[in-house]
Amino acid sequence: MKIVHVEDFIHPDAGYQVNLLSRLQKLDGHEVSVVTGEMDKMPDWLTGFFGTENMAERDARFARETGVQIRRVPLYGFYSGRAIMAPWKLFRAVAREKPDVVFMHGEDTLTGMLFILLSRWLPYPIILDCHMLEMASMNRFREYFRSFYKRFITPIILSRNIPLIRVVDSDFVEKCLGIPLSHTDLLSFGTDTLHFSPNEEAGRAKRAELGLAQEAFVVMYAGKLDEQKGGTFLAAALREKFTAPDGRRLQFLIVGNSVGQYGEQVETVLAASENEIKRLPTQRYFDLAGFYQAADLVIFPKQCSMSYFEAQACGCPILFEANEINNQRAQFGNAVTFTGGDVADFRRKLLELIGLDKAEFDAFSANARKYVLENYDFVPIARQFTAVLERAVAADKLQRKRA
């Protein structure tokens, strides 16, 4: 089966859902490519994390390593979190791939709505996915947009029976877009648990490489240091010295780029911290396993990214903010939540985790790995995504035959 993924923004060095899913589908014997926007007009808050230097070479490296080609389409611009691609160039780029099915990521992007509106005339079926939570929908015009969507877009999705996959267990699509949950499939995020796994030897080697003490308790953050991810909150929380209850040496490993004036503020506060901080730039997705293997605990100061799954797969307990999804994830003795935006609560919970005796902490670590293996192992999950695509292809063939 020829699968074409369409996504507004893709970076070949990242660990986004499309990067991982396309690679696993290729390993399963499918022909896979990705059509996405060019980098030149993407906003800094998207591109600053991994950078845009030598993109042709980086796209080519991704193709060599995964067998998945990335095709880039010119942009008119980027507005309100959505890429505005040149429509005819977009559809021509997809058509040149000769897809059996198109996986359109983002049901409420401009690109996604174009595919939905034109779905009746496309020579291939499409499927959609939704990553959105209501708490993340902050646009001041969101009520107008939702009314538009319910009136003009949702009826097409339902009448044409376009499959929609929810990747978070939320009623957002039903409550905000009018799409019944019964119309959707719920498939989770996840990670490659073969690549991301506990490895004490690799962890010791990485500590030696980074100059981290073998006997230290290492607390790690990996991700963007921007406003959405809580960069200034993290810096403020680490400003004053932490003292471990047992007197153990503490070291912090902060991995990720910062951008612009906001980033400069974050870096200034981090540099003045009273704690031992090892500061590193953004790393390639598949290089991150060694860093998690070197860490004892991983923290997320604000929004929790896909890195959560990689860290847990490596046996790292998590400290992250309390919200609808994180509260569900922390019910299995694998993670602890703190009150969002509350530095004092963050520091208190962090010290509580650091102060656990070895047996208690080892249980958290084992539960972290178990939680991902039982719920978020992306190898079998990827096949469930592919099954939805195959179902769409079969339904499309039947519909065309009847027509």
Handedness of CA 365, 302, 242, 203 (dihedral sign): positive
User: Which spans in 178-304 are helix H?
Assistant: 200-210, 231-237, 260-271, 289-294
Q: Are 222 and 291 in contact (CB under 8 A)?
A: yes
pLDDT at position 139: 62
Q: Over the stretch 41-90, which tens digit does the pLDDT of each residue have? A: 888 778 877 888 899 999 999 999 999 999 999 999 887 778 899 999 99
Q: Over the stretch 280-317, which tens digit does the pLDDT of each residue have? A: 998 988 889 999 999 999 999 998 877 899 999 999 99
Q: How many percent of the chain have pLDDT more than 90?
A: 75
Picking from 221, 299, 285, the residue whose alpha carbon sits closest to that of residue 256 is 221
Q: What is the mean pLDDT of residues 208-218?
A: 97
pLDDT at position 179: 96
Identify the three-state secondary structure at position 207: helix
Picking from 272, 283, 274, 317, the residue whose alpha carbon sits closest to that of residue 209 is 283
pLDDT at position 396: 92
pLDDT at position 14: 86
Map tokens 């559809």 to a residue: 91
Picking from 62, 145, 68, 161, the residue whose alpha carbon sits closest to that of residue 110 is 145
Using CB atoms within 10 A of its CB, is residue 108 exposed (0-12), middle (13-18) or buried (19+)?
buried
Comparing 117 with 167, the larger pLDDT belongs to: 117
pLDDT at position 81: 73
Please, which pLDDT band fits residue 183 given cuts at 50, 70 and 90?
very high
Comparing 203 with 375, the larger pLDDT belongs to: 203
Map tokens 């044409």 to a residue: 160
Residue-wise DSSP of 71-113: EEE-EEEEETTEEEE-HHHHHHHHHHT--SEEEEE-TTSHHHH
Residue 155 reports pLDDT greater than 70: yes
Average pLDDT score, the chain = 92
Q: Are 308 and 318 in contact (CB under 8 A)?
A: yes
Q: Over the stretch 354-383, which tens digit does the pLDDT of each residue have? A: 999 999 999 999 999 999 999 889 889 999
At CB < 8 A and 24+ separation, what contacts does 152-156 make?
153/113, 153/116, 153/117, 153/177, 154/178, 154/179, 156/116, 156/117, 156/119
pLDDT at position 192: 86
Domains of the chain: 2-190+377-402 (3.40.50.2000), 200-375 (3.40.50.2000)
pLDDT at position 133: 63
18: Cβ contacts below 8 Å, ≥ 6 apart: 5, 7, 10, 34, 105
Q: What is the mean pLDDT of residues 387-403?
A: 91
pLDDT at position 263: 92
Handedness of CA 292, 296, 301, 304 (dihedral sign): positive
Residue 403 reports pLDDT greater than 70: no
Q: Over the stretch 118-152, which tens digit does the pLDDT of each residue have? A: 999 999 999 999 987 655 555 666 788 999 999 99
pLDDT at position 138: 59
Is the whole-model pTM more than 0.85?
Answer: no
